[in-house]
Structure 1
Amino acid sequence: MTGELERTEVLIAGGGPVGMALAIDLAYRGIGCLVAEAGDGTVRHPKVSTIGPRSMELFRRWGLADAIRDAGWPPDHPLDIAWVTKIGGHELHRYRRGTAADRPVFQHTPEPDQICPAHWLNPVLAQAVGVHPAGPLRLRTSISGVTQTDDHVHAVLTDLETGTTKQVQARYLVACDGASSPIRQACGIDAPARFQPQIFRNVLFRAPELRARLGDNTALVHFLVRSATLRFPLRSLDGDALFNMVVGVEDETAPRADALSLIRDAIAFETPVEVLSDGDWHLTHRVADRYRDRRVFLAGDAAHTLSPSGGFGLNTGIADAADLGWKIAATLGCWAGPGLLDSYEAERRPIAEESLREANANLRRTMDRQVPQEIDLDGPEGEQARRAMAERLASSGAHREFDAPEIHFGLRYRSAVVVDDPGQPVDIAVPDAAWRPGGDPGRRAAHAWWDATTSTLDLFGRGFVLLQFGGDEGLPRFEEAFAERGVPLSVHRSGDDELAKLYERAYVLVRPDGHVAWRGDELPEDPAALADTVRGATTTNGESP
């Protein structure tokens, strides 16, 4: 290898939202990193726009939730989803979700979802990470020549502007380098396709008068129900003039309508339109066979690619970063056991698989929906077709694509560093209005207001947290067991009966990522064994090394 040598604790390949989220989490934990991003940081065609509630909770932890909410989305813009034959035409069904300013307060989270497409989100994250030379984010920089030894990873960084190269040595490398991930391929990790691949077009356009013309019929998403080509979402990206329309491609070899004519066909009235970009994207559902190759880890699209139906892809990747970040920090801090990093794959890969199935079910609901030719006709024939479609939409679970809190919050980690509670349910049913997730082991710990301004979630992040609703008997031994192993632990005691009822046990141990590690009505007789389990230091025979 040639060039100057630079050392860092963690090298992150890819400076998209997942790579930057990991860098932010590592910095939050005092861990140095270097982020290499081949692009220049410009988002030329934003697509994903909804940051899910669990991701917003993580951004709250990192001090970025307010910046994301203030990035530009108008608080008075409806968050509704409207199924229509045309924009401004016949409306078949509407899922009313209020606006960011007037929707009801959610009991299960202090941070509801937020509209913040990538052309707003990425600059917020880049500023938080810091662009070189002020920070670790290196734009227009590629990674190649990755090799591993027993205690570090070597790679070559190439400045794509000057062509100069530099060697970098890191303790760990995390590949956040996209669905085709050259690093994943170089590690020999397969990510076989699942379900049926699909081809779509994304058409980005500006329509400066469209919102005003729609008036009260404005929605966040106008879900077209028009034809085999136009039966996908048309989404507002800035609450004003910028829109993205997904177009189906049934036959890749057939002649295609131009983007402007497709937009004209999707809107019921004449309005000024400017096409900004039009490009194909190939949807191939994948989950990598492994998330780790010795000192190399996969996260985000490098580990999984999901249908965007449901908005789980980005949010799954950000949760990858939150899971992996504290485990790398614990390992570099010398208090993790040898099994902690292995638990990353054990916890996150099943979540990706479940999210992939849910996203594909949402996609199939749309793909399998037959659109009658008379759907947009005036007169009795068209009215009958629209009534039948409206009934089908209302009864087929169409809302689920835009409201699935049990996917964002209800999925449970099962791994060697989580102590199962024999009394916990196997699965979570579709929640009702009173649903409050998160007291049982493996799940994200429940939100409630600890005091007037502090969520329980605000107590979690730096180290382990013991929520104490019972007495002090055994507490000194418990704290001592963690202290002897160098495991950071804080204790928060509450006499709030409602909070105790929510968490269901007298003692609840929460991990640095905010997931419950253990709970019980009494502190364990052997707190050292518990400390070893949750830090990944228990061997397969249940003994500590």
Structure 2
Amino acid sequence: MNRSETRRLETDVLIVGAGPVGLALALDLRYRGVPFLLLDEGDGRVGHPKVGTVGPRSMELFRRWGVAGEIRAAGWPGDHPLDIAWATAVGGHEIHRLPMGTAASRPAPPWTPEPEQVCPQHWLIPLLVRELGTRPAGPLLPGHRLERFVQDDDGVTVSATRLADGAALTLRAGWLVGCDGAFSPVRKALGIPAPARHRTRTFRNILFRAPELGGLLGPRRALVHFLTRPPALRYPLRSMDGRALYRLTVTAEAQRHEDAMTLLRTAVAPDTPLELVSEHVWHLTHRVADRYRAGRVLLAGDAAHTLSPSGGFGMNTGICDAADLGWKLAAELAGWAGPALLDGYTAERRPVAERSLAEAHTHLRRTLDRELPEEILRDDAAGARARAALAERLEREGVGAEFDAPDTHFGFRYASPLIVSDPDGDDGDWRSRALPGARAPHAPLGDGTSTLDLFGPAFRLLCFADPAPLAPVARAFAGRGVPLLVTRCPDRAAARLYGRPYVLVRPDGHVAWRGTRPPLDPLLLADTVRGAR
């Protein structure tokens, strides 16, 4: 990339921030054929990974975008336990364990063909960057800092700086999306409030290598060793590659001045070589932006919401933001979006962030409020009784919900003007019904694919009934320019699961409408789902 090439660029969508959410939005726009550029201060490498697991709904989306297989092949060993173990120290007294199997051996859940996958950020980000490509062959401009932007009726003009040499870059885009993190300069420049829901907490992540630890632990290995050591070690020590790399989380308020190696020697019981790799101090905030859109500028991911990592909902909530926003931007650029379509982004995604924040905070409070008696450290009968009592409390607390939360990943439903309610009733469980506003459920099809593979490029009208006159629906959507595919599905199991003979699914895979007969007013339906009512 030379200076003259970067003087001025134009595109339809400019994404600021090449973290997981910015890259997910880029994948969705590429999938839809939308021209875009991606601006980021970094170089595509992650020195200190934060997020470790890609959730199951995110994996379904990565499947749509063609990279799920690469994520599963990124490097996590298929035979490494995915268990969660509460212990006084790694290799110390184990108090409670959630057996989760391994990536190779766990049974597939009935509601998805894409269970969660361990793929820490230091694998995930470079993988997605390689998939998309950097300039000049690809859309990513690494090493560039956003300086300012100005929007008008037709687009957004952005000023940026190339950090390597200070060269100025001007970009012109139809739309700007800030995926630039918890302290988002884009959100601050827009003046959008994101008030704190709970007090800010400060943590230290300590990344280290222990090449012999896994062999010493043997069957006691776990994906996460949740430390329960009084007075203050009560957070996860997590395997980051299934081999030698680990990450310990401690509270910076209580352990700000403690030496990292001393903390590691307390957290790891066996006498084994430990190598400090890096430390990272971070601030846990609990925020949801008041709105996700200001004119031609939108927010996604941590720029729109920040929540506790307890439960693993943060990145996955942001990736679902990208799936909701991508098709709506494509509709705007293609000319068939109604005036309310992009406003539906805030209406649909903001309540999901609030729900995820509340769920994550519940898990965090459970950890913060847990009493850890000194007796659990003892090696005698009194210690064994204390640990057994704590194990019973952990069981009663329902700690498994933090690590197995399909309702949070799959169960959210959109209630916006873009969704048509069912006059025959909207109640039901997402596992057993295609509910208006909910993710259209997975049903295996006879050819080895899933109903999920039908969704993405257009609206999809599924017909589980005998042939009916659907030509009026096709004409209505075509007349409005809305892409529609009609699929007659003879699969009886899928028909029972979907619960209505006619189901209209949006490009993001959420149910827009369902009925016992074809829509009586196809034009009204087309206008509703495209935001023109």
- Normalising by structure 2, we get a TM-score of 0.97
Counterpart check, 1:272 vs 2:300: no
Distance 1:138 1:256 in 2: 39
The CA deviation string for residues 33-70 of structure 1, in whole angstroms up to 9 with x for no partner, is 11100012220101211100000000000000000000
Counterpart check, 1:23 vs 2:26: yes
Q: Report what 2:185 is aligned to.
A: 182
Counterpart check, 1:349 vs 2:350: yes
Counterpart check, 1:118 vs 2:121: yes
Instruction: Give the letter for the 1:416 counterpart.
Output: P
8 Å CA contact retained: 1:445, 1:516: yes
Counterpart check, 1:318 vs 2:313: no
Out of 430, 439, 444, the position equivalent to 2:434 is 439
Aligned to 1:339, the other structure's residue is in SS state: coil
| Runs of 5+ consecutive residues of structure 1 not aligned to the other structure | 429-434, 539-545
CA drift at 1:332: 0.4
Out of 68, 79, 87, the position equivalent to 2:90 is 87
Counterpart check, 1:295 vs 2:290: no
Instruction: Give the letter for the 2:350 counterpart.
Output: R
Q: Report what 2:393 is aligned to.
A: 392
8 Å CA contact retained: 2:143, 2:164: yes
Distance 1:32 1:437 in 2: 38
Q: Report what 2:494 is aligned to.
A: 499
1:205-244 superposed matches below 5 A:
205-244=208-247
Distance 1:53 1:364 in 2: 24
Q: Report what 1:514 is aligned to.
A: 509
Distance 1:17 1:441 in 2: 28
Q: Report what 1:204 is aligned to.
A: 207
Aligned to 1:41, the other structure's residue is in SS state: coil
CA drift at 1:422: 4.1
| Runs of 5+ consecutive residues of structure 2 not aligned to the other structure | none
Aligned to 2:197, the other structure's residue is in SS state: strand
8 Å CA contact retained: 1:437, 1:444: no
The CA deviation string for residues 488-535 of structure 1, in whole angstroms up to 9 with x for no partner, is 111111222221110000000000000000000001111110010001
Aligned to 2:514, the other structure's residue is in SS state: strand
Distance 1:34 1:228 in 2: 49
Aligned to 1:47, the other structure's residue is in SS state: coil
Aligned to 1:195, the other structure's residue is in SS state: coil
8 Å CA contact retained: 1:84, 1:223: yes
- Alignment coverage as a number of residue pairs: 529
The CA deviation string for residues 458-482 of structure 1, in whole angstroms up to 9 with x for no partner, is 0000000011011333311111111
8 Å CA contact retained: 1:228, 1:248: no
Q: Report what 2:332 is aligned to.
A: 331
Instruction: Give the letter for the 1:489 counterpart.
Output: L
8 Å CA contact retained: 2:427, 2:435: no
8 Å CA contact retained: 1:229, 1:250: no
Assess, with a 3 A threshold, how the Cα gap between structure 1 residues 268 and 179 changes in structure 2: closer, same or farther.
same
8 Å CA contact retained: 2:344, 2:418: yes
Distance 1:138 1:479 in 2: 41
- Normalising by structure 1, we get a TM-score of 0.95
Q: Report what 1:431 is aligned to.
A: none
Counterpart check, 1:171 vs 2:174: yes
Distance 1:126 1:132 in 2: 11
Counterpart check, 1:57 vs 2:60: yes
Assess, with a 3 A threshold, how the Cα gap between structure 1 residues 326 and 137 changes in structure 2: closer, same or farther.
same
Which stretch of structure 1 is more off in the superposition, 496-505 or 204-213? 496-505
8 Å CA contact retained: 1:438, 1:444: no
Aligned to 1:357, the other structure's residue is in SS state: helix
Aligned to 1:73, the other structure's residue is in SS state: coil
Assess, with a 3 A threshold, how the Cα gap between structure 1 residues 274 and 184 changes in structure 2: closer, same or farther.
same
Distance 2:299 2:466 in 1: 43
Distance 2:463 2:257 in 1: 63
